[in-house]
Structure 1
Amino acid sequence: MLVYYNPELENPPRDKEVSLGFSFIGKKSGSTEYVQIKSGVNRDIDAASWDMIKKMPLVPDLLSIGALRVEEDVVEVALDAPATGGISSKPVKDALALIGRTFDMDLLKEWDRAENRVRIKNAIQKRIKAITEGEG
């Protein structure tokens, strides 16, 4: 579980480097547990602790103004299939000439994924930047 704490959204705004501390009696241990939520992203809060924390009087107010935000910790893995064809088999001089004449962003990105040569990758990135900034 990811808990985002942005103290600058509180009213009155707080400093960037603050934390919230919550104490409660743990269900498993029966002893006092302390959970600290620091400003920024907090990844070490488990669901059982969050269930106890969200019952605290301050937390609903922080959630409503957006100073606290909770998301499930989900990992998305995107596997790019290697691009077929492209300029990886062409000599450097020919590849650079093709890059300079291309205006298709999708094609440039495909070439960038398939390419291993640093000089060619740099030329592709430079061309993409030129197109997006209106210099191409």
Structure 2
Amino acid sequence: MHGACNAHGPARIHLILDCYAGPTLDWLRDGEHLPERCVRHLPEADEEELAGYATTARRLAHLGYVRSAEHHLLRLFFNRRLDEGRAYDMVIALHRDRGDTAAVTTWREHKAIVLGPHSLTDEPLKEVSR
């Protein structure tokens, strides 16, 4: 998994190369690599912390700040190590709890576009609540 975010500071461009490793990539990189010291591993998010994020998002949405509630959950991707699609699942659960079926459909579509149709299953979503 990978991502980039301009959450703070000056505007900048992030280049992300998503491809298979192999001789062609080696040739294109011409020996360039990212040193391990430049890699920042995100901390794991525990269930209690995720429940707190879900509670805050529900409160924001209840006050009418639905977009802020969504962004609050989506920013988790840039701050904590999560299972693939977990931030989307939390946004979907938020809207399901609110009874907003149109938003549930929209966010499921976003998830399928970004992560692929395999990311949508008929299994119940792992939801975090307090």
By the TM > 0.5 criterion, same fold? no
More strand per residue: 1
More helix per residue: 2
Question: TM-score if structure 2 supplies the norm length?
Answer: 0.25
